[in-house]
A and B are shown apart, each in its own frame.
Chain A
């Protein structure tokens, strides 16, 4: 089955700096890669996703890149703000197989 690894497990940045979180996956047939943000005590919520037919997607301060050859994808947050502090999860899924696999999470702390 699919295996998703996420790094780093914790990340601390100064407000205004950029943050990058990386994930690798094992199943070359995976073709959907979402990112979820979970604030303390809250439920995970989708912030951005990318499909295998594109290499990059951007939404304001967040962007995701996908390298299918290397089987890795990354979340980029620019101009970080204290409210970006949360745990971020990557995930991978394969078409017609709904066994979504999540990474272990990255705890991002943005210091004001």
Chain B
């Protein structure tokens, strides 16, 4: 889905370095997310944002921070990278709908950023 883009696509860095991953979307969605994917662990939510003034911690937020610069941009930072943060990182957006008391919230994922911390 070209409407959600991530930069960089690949990054190799060293322990202790500060890293920023960026996500942009043209879908006009208010909600944006950062996930990390590790083999055998599926997708785990790091942070999410419902709008530019809203930031929420997800399941695994320790060691990460985020910034929602605009509706279309959501960046993830690793202040001091460590090797166990080596993973595939996905940004996602959503536009939830409510029908008959039940919600659906399809996540539209970016292409992913493969981060390696040496």
- Which segment, of A13-21, A77-85, A98-106, faces chain B? A98-106
CB-based contact B31/A104 at 8 Å: no
CA distance A89 to B35 in the complex (A): 14
Q: Tell me the residues in window 14-47 of chain B with beta carbons closer than 8 Å to chain A beta carbons.
A: 31, 33, 40-45
The DSSP consensus for interface residues of chain A is strand
Minimum CB–CB distance from B28 to chain A (whole Å) comes to: 18
CB-based contact B101/A53 at 8 Å: yes
Of B1, B31, B96, B103, the most chain A CB neighbours within 10 A belong to B103
CB of B106 within 8 A of chain A?
A: yes
Minimum CB–CB distance from B12 to chain A (whole Å) comes to: 18
A22-60 to B contact mask, C-beta < 8 Å, 1/0: 000000000110101000001111100101110000000
CB of B79 within 8 A of chain A?
A: no
For the complex of A and B, the 3 pairs showing the least CB-CB separation, nearest first, are: A43-B109, A51-B102, A102-B42
